[in-house]
Amino acid sequence: MALWFRTFSTWTGKPGIHLEDLYVDPAYRSHGLGKALLLELARVCVERGYKRLEWWVLRWSAPSIEFYETLGARAMDAWIDYRIDGETLTRLGGGS
């Protein structure tokens, strides 16, 4: 399963794809299905003129990182992810 949505980059002035989740059932891993899903998303990007295919991966997920790097993906270390949730989100959003 590849769950994705279209994004827009103000840096490139073009759309892209953000891959929210890539999941292959453990019983079917190591059969090329994850790679096939990523290749299809790359094909969609090229076909539509999109400039990026992006996703997040947890730092501790070494097998995933290794897999992505074999495809030529590179970590975007210049960025820091931020999140607001829970009580802080409620407070900032004007909730009680």
Q: What percent of the chain has pLDDT over 90?
A: 92
Residue-wise pLDDT for 12-21, tens only, equals: 999 999 999 9
The pair phi, psi for residue 55, each rounded to 5°, is -160, 170
Residue among 23, 28, 50, 68 flagged as catalytic: 68
Taking the C-alpha atoms of residue 7 and residue 48, their distance in angstroms, rounded to an integer, is 13
Could you confirm whether 28 is annotated as catalytic? no
Instruction: Give the span between the Cα atoms of 76 and 42, in whole angstroms.
Output: 18
Mean pLDDT of 7-31: 95
Domain 2-92 in CATH 3.40.630.30: yes
**Domains of the chain: which residue ranges?**
2-92
Give the closest residue to 77 by CA, choosing from 89, 59, 61: 59
- What does pLDDT average to over the chain? 94
Q: What is the pLDDT of residue 75?
A: 93
Region 36-64: what's the mean pLDDT? 96
pLDDT of residue 79: 87
Rounded CA Rg of the chain: 16
